[in-house]
């Protein structure tokens, strides 16, 4: 055996082609196929059997091996598409497999053994494979059609039997309906006769009762009209008295409400005044403490020297040197004094408003209503138009004090 034959037998195409032939012969490809899929399978079998005749007549010693690799790749792709179709029954895989089969046909035409493809036996095998595939599908379709027709005839026979039974029942039902119609017609006639008689009796009774009711209604209307007039007069008198009482109560309530509002406002102003008094006292305490502290910075050192030394000589230079320290303390003292004055002024204003509101009501009660209202308006304008002190005079006083202290220090320094 030559090395070309050994090389051909050991080539991957040998195993792949055997798998392709075995896969094409698998009968499971024909299960659950559609008409288009049957044509694709039949054509694929025809092509593969046709090419198998060429494959079996290959002479390895006159065949270029570089074509075998391409044949092996396309054959493997064809196998993959057929297996994919077996897995999901997608007809697109059969279309792809036929495309790869076309490529295999072209590649087989390029080897010398392709001249044997036209042999009678090879053509017979390929045509038989195509015919068997189509015939198998036709036989299967014929059997299914025959079975469906037999089932249809059987169903028709069953329906005919049921129709005969239904027709018999329909005849019986028609007889019953005629009997019921006669009964209904008879009962309708009797009902009309009884209804007309009852309607006549009811109409006579209604006319009599209506006449009695009309007479009684006229008597009741006249009776209740007189009684209503008397009750309305009595009710008018009572309503007038009630309105008078309510008017007096409204006046009393207005007075009580006014007194209550004034009392609440007076209480609020009293609270404001108390708060201002506390703040003013606090600022006054701070100012007093700082002023005493500033004076102490000027006087205490001299007093200490007097107590320690019997012979005391007053030194103006040292005293002047302590003045800036005293001024540092006097400035916040003057600020606290000014703030204390502001809050004291606010306290006095709120006390005045409280006094006016608490003493206003007794005088208003003694006045005429129009004069009392004018007095209320005037008091309201007076109270709410008051402005708090701006503190400008206090600022001027503070400036004057600081100016005087500066002038005093300047004169002492010149002396």
pLDDT, tens digit, for every residue of 376-398?
A: 666 666 666 654 444 444 444 44
**Is residue 236 included in any domain, yes or no?**
no
Q: Considering only CA atoms, which of 297, 294, 299, 301 is closest in space to residue 334? A: 294
Say if residue 109 is in the same domain as residue 253. no
Give mean pLDDT, residues 318-322.
69
Count structural domains, the chain: 2
Identify the helix (H) or strand (E) that includes residue 235: helix 120-308
Of 231 and 85, the structure prediction assigns the larger pLDDT to 85
- Cα dist. 133→35, 82, 123, 128, 194 in Å? 11, 16, 16, 8, 87
Phi, psi of 319 (to 5 degrees): -65, -45
Residue 116 tokens read as 């044997």
Which residues, including other chains, have CB under 8 Å from residue 112's CB and lie 6 or more apart? 59, 62, 63
**pLDDT over threshold 80, residue 193:** yes
| 270 falls within a domain | yes
Least-confidence region, from 25-34, 111-120, 176-185: 111-120
Q: Based on the domain organization, do 267 and 402 belong to the same domain?
A: yes
In a domain, 163, yes or no: no
Residue 13 belongs to some domain of the structure? yes
Domain presence at residue 378: yes
- Establish if 193 belongs to a structural domain: no
Q: What is the pLDDT of residue 156?
A: 79
Range of the domain at 262: 245-414
Q: Quickly state the pLDDT bin for 76 (edges 50, 70, 90).
A: very high
Burial degree of 348 (CB within 10 A; 0-12, 13-18, 19+): middle
- What average pLDDT score do residues 209-227 get? 80
Final residue in a domain of this structure, among 72, 93, 118: 118
Residue 164 lies in a domain: no
21-25, 134-138, 235-239, 334-338: lowest mean pLDDT where?
A: 134-138
Residue at which a domain ends, from 102, 118, 134: 118
Tell whether 273 is covered by a domain. Answer: yes
Q: Residue 412 — pLDDT band, cuts 50, 70, 90?
A: very low
Pick the last residue of a domain from 118, 137, 155. Answer: 118
Non-local CB neighbours of 63 within 8 Å, separated by 6+ positions: 8, 111, 112, 113
The mean per-residue pLDDT over the stretch 254-283 comes to 76
- The pTM score is 0.34
């Amino acid at each position: 055996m030559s090395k070309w034959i050994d090389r051909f037998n050991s080539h991957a195409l040998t195993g792949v082609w055997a798998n392709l032939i075995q896969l094409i012969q698998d009968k499971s490809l024909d299960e659950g196929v559609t008409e288009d899929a049957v044509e694709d399978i039949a054509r694929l079998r025809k092509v593969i059997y046709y090419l198998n005749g060429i494959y079996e007549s290959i002479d390895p010693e006159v065949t270029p091996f570089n074509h075998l690799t391409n044949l092996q790749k396309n054959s493997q792709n064809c196998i993959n598409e057929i297996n994919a179709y077996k897995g999901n029954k997608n007809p697109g895989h059969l279309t792809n497999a036929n495309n790869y089969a076309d490529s295999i046909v072209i590649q087989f035409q390029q080897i010398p053994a392709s001249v044997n493809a036209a042999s009678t036996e090879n053509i017979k095998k390929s045509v038989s494979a195509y015919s068997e595939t189509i015939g198998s599908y036709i036989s299967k379709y014929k059997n299914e059609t025959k079975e469906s027709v037999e089932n249809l005839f059987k169903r028709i026979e069953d329906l005919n039997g049921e129709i005969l039974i239904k027709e018999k029942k329909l005849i019986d039902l028609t007889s019953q309906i005629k009997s019921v119609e006669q009964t209904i017609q008879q009962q309708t006639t009797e009902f009309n006769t009884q209804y007309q008689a009852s309607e006549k009796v009811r109409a006579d009774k209604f006319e009599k009762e209506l006449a009695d009711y009309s007479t009684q209604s006229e008597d009741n209307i006249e009776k209740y009209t007189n009684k209503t007039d008397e009750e309305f007069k009595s009710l008018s008198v009572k309503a007038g008295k009630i309105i008078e009482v309510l008017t007096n109560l409204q006046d009393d309530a207005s007075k009580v409400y006014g007194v209550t509002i004034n009392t609440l406002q007076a209480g609020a102003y009293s609270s404001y005044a108390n708060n201002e008094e506390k703040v003013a006292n606090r600022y006054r305490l701070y100012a007093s403490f700082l002023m005493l502290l500033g004076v102490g910075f000027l006087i205490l050192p001299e007093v200490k020297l007097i107590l320690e030394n019997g012979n005391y000589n007053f030194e103006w230079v040292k005293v002047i040197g302590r003045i800036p320290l005293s001024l540092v303390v006097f400035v916040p003292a003057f600020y606290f004094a000014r703030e204390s004055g502001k809050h004291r002024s606010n306290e006095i204003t709120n006390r005045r408003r409280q006094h006016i509101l608490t003493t206003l009501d007794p005088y208003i009660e003694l006045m005429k209503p129009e004069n009392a209202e004018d007095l209320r308006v005037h008091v309201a304008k007076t109270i709410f138009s008051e402005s708090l002190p701006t503190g400008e005079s206090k600022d001027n006083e503070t400036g004057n004090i600081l100016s005087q202290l500066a002038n005093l220090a300047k004169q002492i320094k010149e002396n």
